[in-house]
Amino acid sequence: MRTTKFAGVAVMAAAALVLAACSSGGTTDDASSGGDSSSSSSDAGSGDELYVALISKGFQHQFWQAVKLGAEQAADELGVRMTFDGPDSEAEVEQQLQQLQTALNANPDAIGFAALDSEASIPILEQAQSAGIPIVAFDSGVDSDIPVTTASTDNKAAAAEAATHMAELADHTGDVAIVCHDQTSITGIERRDGFVEYMESNEPDMNVVDIQYGGGDQLKSTDITKAILQANPDLVGIYGCNEGSAIGIVNGVNELNMSGKVIVIGFDSGQAQIDAIKSGLMAGAITQNPVGIGYETVKAAVAAINGEDLPTTIDTGYYWYDSTNIDDPEIQAVLYE
């Protein structure tokens, strides 16, 4: 019996070693942990250093990595300690609330928060308020007057911008479809509605014939795109509401060999989208300014700690980019691979 157990432990250890060996063989560059938390300042020991805790909607998507980068830049410039956490996926509302609670318990000087569910987070935000910890909302707003300010993209205006380009490219006529990430998050709703409302009020000869949701999953969005194209052979264009949706559209158009036959407009960036724009498969995309979102959030948090007045919203901006301006420094600065 004892030998059995021993053998078992030995096998486990060997297996763990194999996994560990593979993982260290896999990463070529630095010893970056890739984990969900990071501290940007090296001298974390000093007592009166300001501490800002950021709770994002995720950490593994490139978008959030870019937000984190901007937050780190601001933290370095302003000499504050900053941590960046986020849930495993954008569906994990409860995990995010737990992380918000944990951050609050660490008694930071300010909290930055990108709510997955703005209603659900209000009780914890009220705790923060009564503890005198200022809250800066980022990426999407919170339905409450607790946050001192909100640093985010005007998603509705950004989606309307996508719609204007779609209409121009389609000569203001024809049917279009939308592949979105979800129908419940504020970004999902606003990026869909901004596009649809623009078409309804400005383009009498254009119709949004189908809106489907792929959860931002590239594979599912690919299959959805193919189904939409099969069902609507006369479709002139498809618009994707986020990176995963847009890449799914690119894949689906590619798999059906329909490159050039349908106008593809995307959102955010990422290597696959950048390649598609350069190759002409994708007409263009809207990019937010994720680095700016992270930067403005930390900057606003420090301003709030110092009791400065802040506007209710900080528009971090968006840009239309296509093959003509993709290499401009202004655009390159906000794109991520």
Partner 1 sequence: MSIATAPTEDKAPTVARRQRFDLQKLLAFGALIVLFGFFSVSSHAFLSWNNVTGILLSASVVGVMALGATFVIATGGIDLSVGTGMTLAAVMTAVFLNPDYLGLPLVLGVVLGIAFGSLIGLVNGVNVAVLRIPPFIATLAMMMAASGLALVISDTHPIYFSDVPGFTSISLGSIIPGANLPNAVLIFFAAVAVAGVLLSKGLIGRYALSIGSNEEATQLSGVDTRRWTIAIYTLAGTFTGLSGVLIAARLNSAQPALGQGYELEAIAAVVIGGTSLSGGRASILGTMIGALLMAVLTNGLQIMAIPQEWQRVAVGVVILVAVFADNVRRRREAGH
* Chain-centroid distance, C-alpha 222: 19
DSSP 302-326: HHHHTT----SEEE--EEEEETTTT
Contact between residue 180 and residue 212 where contact means Cβ atoms under 8 Å apart = yes
Nearer to partner 1, 154 or 275 (CB): 275
DSSP reduced 3-state for 33: coil
Number of residues that bind partner 1 (CB under 8 A): 54
Q: Of 247-266, which residues contact partner 1 (CB under 8 A)?
A: 247, 251, 255-256
Contact between residue 128 and residue 111 where contact means Cβ atoms under 8 Å apart = yes
From start to end of 142-244, where are the E strands? 149-152, 174-180, 206-213, 237-240
Burial class (CB in 10 A: 0-12, 13-18, 19+), 53: buried
With CB under 8 A as the contact rule, the residue among 38, 73, 89, 164 that binds partner 1 is 89
Nearer to partner 1, 67 or 148 (CB): 67
Q: Is 212 in the site for partner 1 (CB under 8 A)?
A: yes
- Residue 292, token pair as written in the block: 């700016």
With CB under 8 A as the contact rule, the residue among 40, 65, 152, 155 that binds partner 1 is 65
Distance CA 20, CA 12 (A): 12
With CB under 8 A as the contact rule, the residue among 173, 183, 202, 325 that binds partner 1 is 183
Sorted by sequence, the CB contacts under 8 Å of residue 135 that are 6+ apart come out as 110, 111, 112, 113, 125, 128, 129, 142, 146, 147, 148
Q: Of 318-337, which residues contact partner 1 (CB under 8 A)?
A: 337
Write the binding mask 218 to 237 for partner 1: x where contact by CB under 8 A, - elsewhere: xx--xxx-xxx-xxxx----
With CB under 8 A as the contact rule, the residue among 1, 2, 3, 35 that binds partner 1 is 35
With CB under 8 A as the contact rule, the residue among 8, 79, 123, 280 that binds partner 1 is 8
Could you tell me which stretch among 4-12, 134-142, 149-157, 324-332 binds partner 1 (CB under 8 A)? 4-12
Q: Which residues bind partner 1 (CB under 8 A)?
A: 4, 7-8, 11-12, 15, 18-19, 22-23, 25-29, 32-35, 58-62, 65, 88-89, 183, 209-210, 212-213, 217-219, 222-224, 226-228, 230-233, 247, 251, 255-256, 270-272, 275, 337
